[in-house]
Amino acid sequence: MEAYLVKCENGRLVSLQESLSLKTLLDAPCKKITVYRIRELEKVLEVDKDVLIALTRNVVKDFTASEQPQQIKAAKCIAVVFDQMYKGFAELVAREMGEASGIVIEYHEIVGRGLDKPVKIGSVYKQPARDDYDVFKLLKSLSERCNVVFFTGDKKLANQCMMIKRVNVYYMPPGEYGGKEFVVERMVEILRQVVGDQPLAV
């Protein structure tokens, strides 16, 4: 069986133990510590106690830091909602917008009575809505966690939804544009401006 001899720099014997512990070294009343393995009086360690204490503090500090939960910065969020008359526009706008650095952009397309619950297809959430009130509730729900951009060609619905905080309503009757491509182009312009200029919800 092996044993360990712990000595101070002045030759003073500190302890003779079958196993060596960090506590023994830290409790030793000396500045320089020498440890021998008792078999052939083999020296296995020589260290300044101040260095040992400093190393111990660093280990404890690093361990404590690693135990702390990582603070993950919440991504800023924009929910883009398309009224029923813009069916298929969400996919085109999402493709043109691509990904924005540090911002999550969600695309929601209102599809009317064809669905019982929301369904995500590709990058677009298909949202059921029986009437304007369902649209109103959807926008209000999304606004609780994101800034909302709502594209609609319904004047009455646009006026109602303007009352919801953090919902930016854009009244865009398709008939006032020269075609689908021009509407998509204008929507992309608006979103790029919103992403670049608007204070975003976290």
Three-state DSSP string of the chain: CCEEEEEECCCCEEEEECCCCHHHHHHCCCCEEEEEEECCCEEEEEEEHHHHHHHHHHHHHHHHHHHCCCCCCCCEEEEEEECHHHCCHHHHHHHHHCCECCEEEEEEEEEECCCCCCEEECCEEEEECCCHHHHHHHHHHHHCCCEEEEEECCHHHHHHHCCCCCEEEEECCHHHCCCHHHHHHHHHHHHHHHHHHCCCCC
CATH topology of domain 76-197: Rossmann fold (3.40.50)
Q: What percent of the chain has pLDDT over 90?
A: 20
75, pLDDT greater than 70: no
* The predicted structure's pLDDT at residue 199: 47
**Mean pLDDT, range 40-67, rounded to an integer:** 54
- Residue boundaries of the structural domains of the chain: 3-67, 76-197
Give the pLDDT score at 61: 45
Q: Who has greater pLDDT, 132 or 67?
A: 132
